[in-house]
Amino acid sequence: MSRLPVLGEPVVLDDVGPPRRGRAYPAAGATSALLLPAALLLGGLVLWPVLRTVHASVTSDGRWVGAAHFRAALAAPGTGAVVGRTLLWALLVPAVVTGLGYLLAAASRRSQEGGLVRLILVVPTALPLVVTGVTFRLMYDPDPSRGLATLIAARLTGHTGDAVPQLLGPGLVTVALMSAFVWAWVGLAVLVFRAALDRLPSSLADAVRAYGGGRRHVLWDAQWRPLLLRTVAVVFALVALGTSRTFDLILVMTPGSVRDEASVLALRVWQTSGGTTTGEGAALGVIWLVAVAAGMLVAALFVRQAWPPPRAVDPPEADPASAPPRRPLRLLAAGAAVAWLVPLAVLVATSLHGPVEAAARGWWSAPPSLASYRELVTGGELWRLLAFTLLLATGVTATVLVVALLAAYPLAWLTGPAAQVTGLLLMTAVVVPVQVIAGPVNEVLGVVLSSGTARGLALVHVALGVPFAVLVLRNAFADLPADRVRAARLTGRNWWGTLRRLARQCRPAILAVSVLEFVQVWNDLVVGLLFSGPDAAPLGLFLAGQTRGFVAGSGVLAAGSVIASVLPVVLVVLARRQLVAGLVSGGVR
């Protein structure tokens, strides 16, 4: 689940729902072989490792030990706090993100500046979480001569810098981490809510008004009941599942002395088992796995039982009749946009200072220079890292696309319970936390590949990316209008020709999957941390490694973060319309 892509899950959750008419493809012979690559990848690198982890949690060197590991893991000091903190993350953060997302989506609709506001909010969703962590750690630096937040707090409270509450200190570190996470994820919620709001037929609101309904009634009967309830459930579930990505943030943002105060299950599993998976680490992993899978099932059930939404008849482009939101709301949107820009500005400003100035004083008190960039660019390592990460992300994206297209094609004409079961299985594969299965995956890689671990790294990325891609593409195939499917089947001379013609019809979905998978691999930290090898260190891992001497290296680190962010941000911003069209619209419909 730490692989949960940033955008597009709605379509996945949605798909657990009732079967759609588009599934009614004619059967096409023994196409099950098409499923083979995906099945091998998922069986070998997800299912088998999960079983091995379960096995390791109840055995010790092959001997059955029952629940001993579970008892030991739960009795270890601090486990209760860790579990509690993980739950807090999974409940509080999604609530905040959902609420803010709805407010900002409503506030930025139909106003001139709305597009710009949304653009600004979307940028953080594209950043690697490592970069988000670096950005907020710069802002929250406990030294008021460097940390903007500490400086402002000191000015506001009138304390000296040393007496101000420390955002990275043991008391507030979780709050600090959560704020960074909310910053990174609200853009996603805004996108989803915006698509949902645009789908609402305005005639419904008019009808409510015609019957004498007030503002409250419009909100309830024309927005909440037909659509928003379901969208809220989708966004909440998404963010809740996404909170296990806090792993990256915690590694980057917390100094060693407060790591325990910030620890969640993801971190604890990694600390207890590292690259291997044994005993207590496996037991904690199993607990986590069960919780995540249960959460996913509940979310799926909830989404399914929600009000069946109306089909969007016509895309509600510009509706001149509806007024822009009221003034306070618009101000709120503008204020949010400015607030969301501040961390980005801090990151860029820090990167524009020499390594020594960035470490010794605030970016506002020293003249800008390009020394940090110069040091990074002439260091030699950067180009190798960029080239390797680019090659890795491209190769993985292409492979995922091929494997997923092949598998999605036969899966698309399943109907009824079969479709729902495959949907649930794929969804479960999407949410498996990779830390839990690291050890067994390494064993499998050892069997499959004789040497060369860059290949292993790519293989793990492919296996983790395939289930989500299959889900999205399967839904896209299933949603094609019946006449187009018929036309493709008539003109295509064989299944391959048909698949090619059908794929051409699903271009937005394919584009969306490609962009997401690419950004996913590019932004990755945890897979690199667990599976990278000789000569196979990706960019995220390099940046995270630099945070060990955070203050001393902050100039170069900020410069590296800016360079690492350019490509994902450009891709997501350019493709955001297609991302919405290809993924999100399917989810909230």
Q: Which residues contact 10 (CB under 8 A, 6 or more apart)?
A: 192, 231, 234, 235, 238, 583, 584, 586, 587, 588
Q: Assess 374 for contact with other proteins (CB under 8 A).
A: no
| Nearest-approach distance from CB 403 to other proteins, in angstroms | 6
- Asked if residue 66 lies in contact with residue 57, where contact means CB atoms within 8 angstroms, the answer is no
Q: Which stretch binds other proteins (CB under 8 A): 26-34, 58-66, 90-98, 366-374?
A: 26-34
Q: Assess 113 for contact with other proteins (CB under 8 A).
A: no
- Asked if residue 108 lies in contact with residue 122, where contact means CB atoms within 8 angstroms, the answer is no
d(C-alpha 468, C-alpha 474), whole Å: 10
d(C-alpha 246, C-alpha 240), whole Å: 11
Q: Assess 388 for contact with other proteins (CB under 8 A).
A: yes
d(C-alpha 142, C-alpha 165), whole Å: 9
The amino acid that residue 448 corresponds to is V
Q: Assess 369 for contact with other proteins (CB under 8 A).
A: no
Q: Assess 162 for contact with other proteins (CB under 8 A).
A: yes
| Nearest-approach distance from CB 455 to other proteins, in angstroms | 4
- Asked if residue 514 lies in contact with residue 397, where contact means CB atoms within 8 angstroms, the answer is yes
Q: Assess 456 for contact with other proteins (CB under 8 A).
A: yes
Q: Select 273 or 561, whichever has its Cβ closest to other proteins.
A: 273
Proportion of the chain in helix, strand, coil states, percent, rounded to 5 = 75, 0, 25
- Please give the distance of CA 395 from its chain centroid, rounded to a whole number: 20
| Nearest-approach distance from CB 436 to other proteins, in angstroms | 15
63 three-class SS: strand
Q: Assess 383 for contact with other proteins (CB under 8 A).
A: no
Q: Select 34 or 235, whichever has its Cβ closest to other proteins.
A: 34
- Asked if residue 346 lies in contact with residue 124, where contact means CB atoms within 8 angstroms, the answer is no
Rounded to 5 degrees, what angle do the CA atoms 15, 18, 23 make?
Answer: 75
Q: Assess 33 for contact with other proteins (CB under 8 A).
A: yes
Q: Which stretch binds other proteins (CB under 8 A): 236-244, 353-361, 424-432, 503-511?
A: 353-361
Residue 64's H or E segment, with its range, is strand 63-64
Q: Which stretch binds other proteins (CB under 8 A): 268-276, 365-373, 428-436, 558-566?
A: 268-276
Q: Select 220 or 495, whichever has its Cβ closest to other proteins.
A: 495
Q: Assess 375 for contact with other proteins (CB under 8 A).
A: no
d(C-alpha 243, C-alpha 373), whole Å: 32
Q: Which stretch binds other proteins (CB under 8 A): 32-40, 108-116, 232-240, 297-305?
A: 32-40
Q: Select 179 or 231, whichever has its Cβ closest to other proteins.
A: 179
Binding mask 389-428 for other proteins (x = CB under 8 A): --xx-xxx-xx--xx--x----------------------
| Nearest-approach distance from CB 570 to other proteins, in angstroms | 22
34 three-class SS: helix
Residue list 504-533, contact with other proteins (CB under 8 A): 529-531, 533
Q: Which residue in 159, 307, 549, 577 binds other proteins (CB under 8 A)?
A: 549
Q: Assess 169 for contact with other proteins (CB under 8 A).
A: yes
Q: Assess 496 for contact with other proteins (CB under 8 A).
A: yes
Q: Select 250 or 588, whichever has its Cβ closest to other proteins.
A: 250
Residue list 77-96, contact with other proteins (CB under 8 A): none
| Nearest-approach distance from CB 287 to other proteins, in angstroms | 20
| Nearest-approach distance from CB 458 to other proteins, in angstroms | 4
Q: Which residue in 43, 213, 274, 316 binds other proteins (CB under 8 A)?
A: 274
Compute the Cα dihedral for 284, 288, 291, 293 and give only its sign.
Answer: negative
Q: Assess 459 for contact with other proteins (CB under 8 A).
A: yes
Q: How many angstroms separate the Cα of 58 from the Cα of each of 80, 121, 285, 291, 550?
A: 21, 46, 12, 18, 40
Q: Assess 48 for contact with other proteins (CB under 8 A).
A: no
Residue 534 sits at φ, ψ, to 5 deg, of -50, 125
Q: How many residues contact other proteins, by CB under 8 A?
A: 77
Q: Which residue in 17, 255, 324, 492 binds other proteins (CB under 8 A)?
A: 255
Q: Which residue in 257, 305, 322, 491 binds other proteins (CB under 8 A)?
A: 257
| Nearest-approach distance from CB 33 to other proteins, in angstroms | 6
| Nearest-approach distance from CB 346 to other proteins, in angstroms | 18
d(C-alpha 297, C-alpha 400), whole Å: 25
Residue 288's H or E segment, with its range, is helix 279-305
Give 161-168 contacts, CB < 8 A, sequence gap 24+: 166/142, 167/140, 167/142, 168/137, 168/140, 168/141, 168/142, 168/253, 168/254, 168/255, 168/258
d(C-alpha 124, C-alpha 186), whole Å: 9
d(C-alpha 115, C-alpha 107), whole Å: 11
Q: Which residue in 2, 86, 132, 166 binds other proteins (CB under 8 A)?
A: 166
Binding mask 424-453 for other proteins (x = CB under 8 A): --------------xx--xx-xx--xxxxx
Q: Which residue in 30, 156, 210, 318 binds other proteins (CB under 8 A)?
A: 30
| Nearest-approach distance from CB 213 to other proteins, in angstroms | 55
Question: What region does 537 belong to: left with phi over 0, alpha with psi -120 to 50, or beta?
Answer: beta
Residue list 552-581, contact with other proteins (CB under 8 A): 552-553
Q: Which stretch binds other proteins (CB under 8 A): 28-36, 49-57, 62-70, 575-583?
A: 28-36
The pairing of beta strand 63-64 with beta strand 59-60: antiparallel
Q: Which residue in 6, 13, 34, 292 binds other proteins (CB under 8 A)?
A: 34
Give 313-317 contacts, CB < 8 A, sequence gap 24+: 313/201, 315/198, 316/198, 316/199, 316/200, 316/201, 316/202
Q: Assess 161 for contact with other proteins (CB under 8 A).
A: yes
